[in-house]
Amino acid sequence: MNSKIQAKTIVFGNNIDTDVILPGKYLVLVDPNELGKHALESLDTEFVQKAKDGVILVGGKNFGCGSSREQAPLALKYSGVKCVIAESFARIFFRNAINIGLPVIECRGISTAVKSGDELVVDFEAGNIENLSNGKKFHVEKLPPFIMEILADGGLIEHLRRKMK
Amino acid sequence: MNITEKILAKAAGKKAVHPGEIVDANVDMVMVHDLTGPLAVEAFKKIGVQKVWDNRKVVVILDHQVPAESVKAAELHKTMRQFAKEQNLTFYDVGRGGICHQVMPEKGHVSPGNVIVGADSHTCTYGAFGAFATGIGSTEAAAVFATGKIWFKVPSAIKINVTGSFQKFVTPKDLILYIIGNLGVDGAIYKAVEFTGSTIENMSIAGRMTLCNMAVEMGAKNGIIAPDETTRRFLEGRAGGLPDFKALQSDSDAEYERTVEFDVSSMGPQVACPSSVDNVKPVSEVGDVPVEQAFIGSCTNGRIEDLRVAAQILKGKRVKDGVRALVIPASQEVWRQAMQEGLMEIFTDAGAIVCGSACGPCLGGHIGLLAAGETCVSSSNRNFIGRMGSTQANVYLASPATVAASAVMGKITDPTTLEETA
Ligand code: SF4
């Protein structure tokens, strides 16, 4: 993972649950690329089209609430989402995202300071987020070092593989 | 310390822990099912270890797409069957168990003071037995398979103190809906929710499981209830070697972020309206809502107590024409008990269909899905958009009593008024 991520954003509201991120009927799909084709389709049928060249997702409170399905962050990652920033996350989604190597970060006030299409840059090392489209800057609590390590390794499995050798 | 902190401290080999601290905890039990298991198996194989850390502590349960409804699901089941065999794990195949969260305590895989993780968000159900139990993802389950450990941030706790006695046909489900309506779907995010008070002390294990099951619907990390004689009576003969319950009571000076008080004495039946679990109203205020489907089942409300109250209401009555009523016992054990008590006959005579114990329509993956424009009143735990089928369908969450009454009337109905209106 790069410690800096820059991309255009797509903004969603509060309580985006894992059933809308990836409906239960797709859980039998195994190929992550197939999962990616259905990300968030029940909220926005064009989401996958918009995300494919790389986007930063911005959400409100309690992003990723609901089921423990890891297929939800996987679908986002494989649809082109590079990172998710939200006011707060549901805890299982937060852990799952880190574990599959999708960077997530909490930022109070972000959902009202960004609109879809704005260009954001997130600096994980420094704990800074900047909205290049309106100049607004945020300082966020950095992820603990062991989580940064998991992300740097590309996810928990790669991390364990390296550590258990 | 409170009970959650005590359990985490012990699991991390520490004298004390404090909210916000990150600990590495030893895991007592890990569970995966047919939808989260295959990803965990794949991830486990990539780690490069040959055997799970302790084969007696890994449980695999098939319950979501059961029996297999498609070739894809059959393949997933096959993967899990093979993995369980090759690793010599406790395995509940189709027809042997039922819904994971019912099977785990029923078959003795849950004990007070345990740290239990499961690749399913409603793993928090086992807090009803005084265990620290929480949901994780598949990759993390694989990591637990390999190491037997997991990191946790020690949560700060909210105490929910409940007093008063329930009125007729008002149940723990109504209470938890009422609580979530009050606190909101993010009202307990990352927190431990500890239920206390005389209402909880007098509550059956079934009711306690319903409360802890839905703790995650307000974002909680875990729901928990201190173990007592009720817990002992349920677990004796199921889980071996119960611990000393005294060590699992919260200290009188334990710290809570806040305490919220509820009195159930004057509470009526509650309903969570589409499409958020905190969109809760007393059933008397939901107005005229015709339903096409009524579902009694799930890990929230598919236990024998739930089926009994539904049967009490359906006995001698008919499900209204145009309504399909689905009854799904949460496990084979519940199924058998319901059959012995004659409940199956009551359901069948009423025109309801009884299906095999599994998740069923709860997650919209298998049987009993909804078409666009249809409405279902359900005893399950989630009413999100698209949860039970079409994204154009509506789901109302309620108690088994309210669902049964609604099935008879063809619209959402307060069970306490059924006698007068029928
Ligand atoms: S019954 Fe519903 S909520 Fe419970 S485990 Fe099954 S799908 Fe999940």
In terms of CA atoms, which chain A residue is nearest residue B381?
Answer: A66
pLDDT at B422 exceeding the cut of 50: no
| Of the partner residues B47, B137, B186, the one whose CB lies closest to the CB of residue A88 | B186
Q: CA quadruple A149, A152, A156, A160: dihedral positive or negative?
A: negative
Provide the percentage of residues in chain B whose pLDDT is more than 70: 99
Outline where A52-144 has alpha helix (H).
71-79, 91-99, 110-113
Q: Hey, where are the domains in chain B?
A: 3-14+21-263, 270-417
**Phi-psi category of residue A101: left, alpha or beta, with phi > 0 → left and psi -120 to 50 → alpha:** left
pLDDT at B421 exceeding the cut of 70: no
Contact B72 A29 (CB under 8 A): yes
Give pLDDT, residue B419: 67
Contact A62 B186 (CB under 8 A): yes
Contact B35 A14 (CB under 8 A): no
Mutating which of A160, A161, A162 best tests the B interface, going by the most B Cβ atoms within 10 A?
A: A160
Total domains in the fold of chain A: 1
Domain B3-14+21-263 shares a fold with domain B270-417: yes
The length of chain B is 422
ipTM summary value: 0.89
B255-286, pLDDT tens digit by residue? 999 999 999 999 999 999 999 999 999 999 99
Tell me the pairing of strands B353-354 and B375-378: unpaired
Range of the domain at A134: 4-164
- Of A26, A159, A150, residue with least CA distance to A95: A150
Outline where B265-303 has alpha helix (H).
298-301
Where residue A107 sits, what CATH number does that domain have? 3.20.19.10
Ranges of chain A whose pLDDT falls below 70: 1
Confidence of residue B107 (pLDDT cuts 50, 70, 90): very high
pTM attached to this predicted model: 0.94
Given a contact cutoff of 8 angstroms between Cβ atoms, the answer to whether B332 and B357 are in contact is: yes
Give pLDDT, residue A24: 85
The residue-averaged pLDDT of B51-60 equals 98
For the domain made up of B270-417, give the CATH fold.
Aconitase; domain 3 (3.30.499)
Mark B107-128 as b/e (b = at least 16 C-beta within 10 Å).
bebbbbbbbbbbbbbbbbbbbb
Given a contact cutoff of 8 angstroms between Cβ atoms, the answer to whether A59 and A85 are in contact is: yes
For the domain made up of B3-14+21-263, give the CATH fold.
Aconitase; domain 3 (3.30.499)
Confidence of residue B420 (pLDDT cuts 50, 70, 90): low
Q: Which residues of B touch A161 (CB under 8 A)?
A: 46-48
